[in-house]
Amino acid sequence: MKARVHVMLKEGVLDPQGEAVRHALGSLGFEGVNGVRQGKVIELDLAEGTSEARIAEMCEKLLANTVIESYRIETL
């Protein structure tokens, strides 16, 4: 079984990497990009039957800093 975890900074948390990407896009001539939020995707290869609750526990303990990041689990 596979799962994909999408981790993003929470709203209101400054995203300097996203701002750098937005600035770079403007410098390359891509007009109209008003904001960029950068995150990460973690792909997990898991034993069959691993519950979403178990994946959430992995996120809470290691994969995401839940003080400043939110996550979304996608099972594949």
Domain span holding position 51 = 2-75
The overall average pLDDT reported for the chain is 96
Model-level pTM?
0.86
The count of other CB atoms within 10 Å of the CB of residue 54 is 12
Domains held by the chain: number: 1
Which amino acid type is present at position 32? G
Give residue-wise pLDDT tens across range 39-52: 999 999 999 999 99
CATH number at residue 37: 3.30.1280.10
Q: Any idea how long the chain is?
A: 76
